[in-house]
Structure 1
Amino acid sequence: MSAFSKAKGFKKSKAGTYLSIGTTAFGVLGVVKQVRSARDEHDTLRLVDAVITGAAIVTGIALLVRELKRIGDDDVLLG
């Protein structure tokens, strides 16, 4: 099995999904920083951008959690 095949398999594994959730959640720090900066500068456009980015992060995490549940359901059927 090639290294590329192993990497593709890791992405669909529980550990890979948890890692994706963690890295996606890490993006929240940047959004919080952007919100604070936009509020301090009274920049409405940057504030809207931060809110939309935050919504994208929440949606991404929700999709990853759904994938994690699907993986868990498959594990129960196999076991």
Structure 2
Amino acid sequence: VSAIGYGAMGLTMAYGPTDEEAGVAALRRAHDLSVTFFDTAEMYGWGTGSNEILVGKAVRDFRDDVVLATKFGVDMSMAPEQIG
């Protein structure tokens, strides 16, 4: 994988309003710049899978050329401020 990866958390939470089209464009641009490692998580959409779905849409044309990492198992019944 590339030495620098792309962490996708901010595409669906944490840094204000989100824009799916801009998120897909950012992920594709990262790949254009030789990023081959993308990180997502169930939690990045508060358990909805929205971040993982977004990353999947973005990389579908080059999926076999990249490595995807995801994290799961966070107790989503906790309030957001309780999740560190």
TM-score bracket for the superposition, by shorter chain length: under 0.3
After TM superposition, the score normalised by the length of structure 2 is 0.26
After TM superposition, the score normalised by the length of structure 1 is 0.28
Structure with the higher strand share, 1 or 2: 2
Structure with the higher helix share, 1 or 2: 1
